Structure 1
């Protein structure tokens, strides 16, 4: 825990992730074309975000003879005022021999005191090299869009005008989520942790660690590094301008367990573009940032195969965007010969 604060700050700087009671859902409004355009020119389709206790989605099942692996597909952002209650997860965890968890960790090899002394330098590394303003490093068209969105979601914060586009995009995205009734930090983790504490299955942590041995030199290099993050900046604004309603609809579908609707809705992805902006820099490649997800996938699949060979029941969670699709985890397991059963089958 001595390096927890430092590691958390580094991670923030280098990343962008019983039966339910009555659902509180109001009818969705008519199409956006029937709504008046607001003065700032940003049209907001007001899909109401659910709140209260919600069941969440059903579990995917991967089967190897008499050995079952149940997988909960997770999603972010989720409705900010939702309380997830899943009877199915509780039942599975009550009989599970093992839980597989996955995490990417950035660790700085310094002591607690040195970590505290580095914090001001970390915060300063958010700024553009040579003291340039955001207006000086993005196109006039992008900056004009930024001003409109910043006024709506952030307000009169002058400090962010000195930040790199990558971090300005992150701040804007976070503020827009909050004002839209969504929470990118909301997690199913506490409910799962409580069930693990109650039933005591073995917990296997699949982990990839990026160790920063000399954070001072890394931060110095980072402060002088030019990052191709304009695509990240523009994509964040595009998501906020056009995809907020999709994100609310996906969050609702996850919360209410409507897997058909969730899979039918397009993905409003923001993080991947921004992660690529870092991983493709010389410093990102040297730290192995770009390989982390591939390494995690290989480790997770190995853990899943071991569990399917040895356990009667295993439980795991995966991000839905990583789990589904032609290159997803489920496709990889199916290609290995395991039976994959969707929640509604």
Structure 2
């Protein structure tokens, strides 16, 4: 089956990481609808299929579980499995992309420094037709092209993406990392992060202007296609279809923007693999949760580890 295409910005937000950092960028968008409360001990309904993928790395005195999440989900998305619950409960510590999802230190100054440009407004970079498309999309979320004009292309693109995601019924409070963060906090065990929110924002803000404009233009063309695509993507994730995720996320992103693919996936997977090797040199059990896009494809976190001689095994019921 051929899936409809959707721009790299949605893939980056949903599954390629950057979840917490980028979701902090649009408080005005998120405030349009109240986010449901996530109960730390709440049981997530089981999916119809085998459930999201879960992997493990072991040596003589260490066990490290690798689990992929979607950063925003609908309230009724089913993804819980017994094997994930057991692995999570057995952990001595928990690792996420960001240790504290609510810590916005450094975010606002970074957006002001890298997200705004009075010298190169969007109207100087886009055609009149593209500005008209931007205005049409912006008005569906209570804004205008004139209000977005001072934004750099990356920030305008993400504002529209986050708005589309929320309009489709997807919210951050239901995201897998939010649920698992709450559970981890309830255990009182250590919670650690591979990155910070400013780092995550910086990854995309520091892309070339050409790559940023390509992302924005693609998003404008596909603004109304979000819900159907996101539903298919989440179905692939929640049923453990890793090849499907690679096709929808990694392969599409690589074809659309090799620069974004390298920035958002490959380089971060390499850095995380280095950190996981350090964990493996120690002892104990850790549950590692990152965006699901990092655990699919030829440049996945598992592939990076295996290139270093680390054996990664998928856990199946």
TM-score range, shorter chain: 0.5 to 0.7
| Counterpart pick for 1:336 among 301, 308, 312 | 308
| Counterpart pick for 1:325 among 278, 282, 297 | 297
| Counterpart pick for 2:137 among 125, 149, 155 | 149
Deviation at 1:313, TM superposition (A): 2.8
Deviation track 1:299-324 (CA, whole Å, cap 9, x = no partner) reads 53233223334435321012222232
Deviation at 1:178, TM superposition (A): 1.6
- Rg larger in 1 or in 2? 1
Deviation track 1:219-261 (CA, whole Å, cap 9, x = no partner) reads xxx9xxx94432121122244355642222112333x434357
Alpha-carbon distance in structure 2 between the residues aligned to 1:205 and 1:22: 27
TM-score by length of 2: 0.62
| Counterpart pick for 2:25 among 12, 24, 28 | 12
Are residues 1:72 and 2:67 paired?
yes
Unaligned runs of at least 5 residues, structure 1:
1-7, 26-53, 110-114, 212-221, 280-289
Counterpart secondary structure, 1:79? coil
Q: 1:22 to 1:70 in 2, by over 3 A?
A: closer
Q: 1:161 to 1:107 in 2, by over 3 A?
A: closer
* Aligned residue in 1 for 2:276: 304
Alpha-carbon distance in structure 2 between the residues aligned to 1:89 and 1:64: 20
Counterpart secondary structure, 1:129? coil
Q: 1:97 to 1:77 in 2, by over 3 A?
A: closer
| Counterpart pick for 2:215 among 232, 236, 242 | 232
Counterpart secondary structure, 1:327? coil
Deviation at 1:159, TM superposition (A): 4.4
Deviation track 1:23-61 (CA, whole Å, cap 9, x = no partner) reads 6x9xxxxxxxxxxxxxxxxxxxxxxxxxxxx99614122
Are residues 1:206 and 2:194 paired?
yes
Aligned 8 A contact 1:100 1:303 in 2: no
Deviation at 1:74, TM superposition (A): 1.6
Deviation track 1:127-185 (CA, whole Å, cap 9, x = no partner) reads 5427x5x444312342343344345x325636425333333322221221122222356
Are residues 1:250 and 2:240 paired?
no
Q: 1:185 to 1:158 in 2, by over 3 A?
A: farther
Aligned 8 A contact 1:73 1:317 in 2: yes
Alpha-carbon distance in structure 2 between the residues aligned to 1:123 and 1:96: 39
Q: 1:203 to 1:155 in 2, by over 3 A?
A: closer
Aligned 8 A contact 2:273 2:301 in 1: yes
Aligned 8 A contact 2:55 2:66 in 1: yes
* Aligned residue in 1 for 2:155: 167
| Aligned-residue RMSD, C-alpha | 4.6
* Aligned residue in 2 for 1:218: none
TM-score by length of 1: 0.58
Instruction: Give aligned pairs, total.
Output: 265
Are residues 1:63 and 2:67 paired?
no
